[in-house]
A = this chain, B = another copy of it.
Amino acid sequence: MAGTLMPMHTRPSSYHHGDLRAALLTRAEETLREKGPAALSLRELARDLGVSHAAPSRHFRDKQALLDALALTGFERLAVALEGAHGRAGASFAQRLDVIVRAYVDFALENAALLDLMYSIKHDPEASEALRAAAERWSALLVSGIEEGQRQGEVREGPLERVGVPVFAVLHGYAGLVTAGMLPPEAAEHGLDEVIAFALRGCAPDAV
């Protein structure tokens, strides 16, 4: 679909034959990972890619728009990672929860700065629509897992949002504590196992 006659060998002066937008996002993610959010500057991004400092504005209205787009790709990658893990999980609720929790925490550890960005996006009425949709793609996985667990009798009854919220909270909170370095290393060691066991007890039906 892309330019049929475009030479692939790079001519330095017009290297970005239409994919400057993608190149900006890729580079932004690299510097976010390597140097943190404070080091993200449109002008430096442009410099790195060999375009003028005004070029990015053709693809992102302002800096926030680039951050929004970056968060969006983050939610998409998170969804892909979790869907992959879910596909490899066993049939019981305990197995699915275990696999999803581990995949989420793995993603958080490998993309700490990006995850932070994802949850700190300003909620413009416009951008948040797309973001919420992307975020829901993976939380739907958690929700359907709980729903299935209820059918199997492994999860207590109750409205989905209610049973799901606490599980979402432990997950999100543990990932946040670990990536913020708020847990001493000893606690982080087996902390994840404890969190999973804790969540399972919290989800379990009342004894009869």
From B119, B177, B186, B201, A169 is in contact (CB under 8 Å) with B177
Interface size counted on chain A using CB atoms at 8 A: 41
Encoded as 1 (CB less than 8 Å from any B CB) or 0, chain A from 101 to 114 comes to 00000000000000
**Which residues of B are found within 8 Å of A170, using beta-carbon distances?**
166, 169-170, 173
Answer yes or no: A23 CB below 8 A from chain B CBs. no
Judge if A48 is at the interface, Cβ distance under 8 Å.
Answer: no
| Residue of B119, B161, B202 touching A186 (CB-CB under 8 A) | B161
Given A135-B182, A161-B191, 15 extra CB contacts under 8 A? A36-B122, A119-B182, A123-B181, A163-B194, A165-B183, A165-B191, A165-B194, A166-B170, A166-B198, A168-B173, A169-B170, A169-B173, A169-B174, A169-B195, A170-B173
